[in-house]
Amino acid sequence: MALILLFPATKEMVVVLPGADGHVGMVVVERGDERFILDEPYASTRLTSDGQVKLEKLEEQEVAASIERSTEPRSPFERAAAVLPGFQGAVAALPARPASFYLYFITGTDTLTDASKLEFERMLEELRKREAPDIVVIGHTDRVGAPEGNDELSLQRAERMKADLVAQGIAPPERIRAAGRGEREPVVPTEDGVDEPLNRRVEINVR
């Protein structure tokens, strides 16, 4: 409210936030011959109805105050939306960030290890938060057996995960792509014939 009273005639506003990884990016605002570089957390430009552009850094204390009142950890977007009028709707509508999951298999099979079965359940919880996920499943193998057989096994692992995701109602088949990469992309490079558990895996990318 205080902000509305302080700046009654804001026509346009841009605010740069710290990224999810803590890294602050940069937005260059150009208006005619004027150029404003926003490269600090909460750096902002504000165009007012008198045609002036103000470059300012929003009080971090003000933004920080909104976190103290909340018991839940909040993102920079949510913190900013809590103190700046007019951003709550956009912030609430941000899609879930793209994410990757890794699951591991019992040697020579498309059956998940016990640890990965638990991880699969955790992954389902994450995926259920997304209304319209797009999923890519990429299967891999270790270097036991012939490369051709491993191509087949890697695809079989990916297809099995796809079938399980469909069966769980996460997404329809046309929204899940499955591919096999055989033994070509090991996480841990090994000699041929080595039974490396970290290489027997699927990578599941969702957005």
Which of 24-32, 106-114, 115-123, 196-204 is the region at the interface with other proteins (rule: CB under 8 A)? 24-32
* Binding residue (CB under 8 A) for other proteins from 25, 169, 173, 189: 25
Beta carbon nearer to other proteins, 15 or 112 = 15
Beta carbon nearer to other proteins, 11 or 184 = 11
| CB burial string 118-145: b at 16+ within 10 A, e below | ebbeebeeebeebeebebbbbbbbbbbb
3-state DSSP assignment of residue 206: strand
Binding positions for other proteins, 59-118, rule CB under 8 A: 76-77, 80-81, 84, 86-98
E strand or H helix that includes residue 47: strand 43-48
Cβ 136 to other proteins shortest distance, Å: 12
Binding positions for other proteins, 35-64, rule CB under 8 A: 38, 45, 47
Cβ 137 to other proteins shortest distance, Å: 17
CA gap 119, 202 in Å, rounded: 12
Q: How many residues contact other proteins, by CB under 8 A?
A: 46
Q: 136: closest CA among 114, 104, 113, 158?
A: 158
Residues with Cβ < 8 Å from 176, sequence gap 6 or more?
135, 136, 137, 162, 165, 166, 170
Residues with Cβ < 8 Å from 104, sequence gap 6 or more?
112, 113, 115, 116, 197, 198, 200, 201
Binding mask 122-151 for other proteins (x = CB under 8 A): --------xxx-x-----------------
Interacting residues with other proteins (CB under 8 A): 10-20, 23, 25-31, 38, 45, 47, 76-77, 80-81, 84, 86-98, 130-132, 134, 175, 207
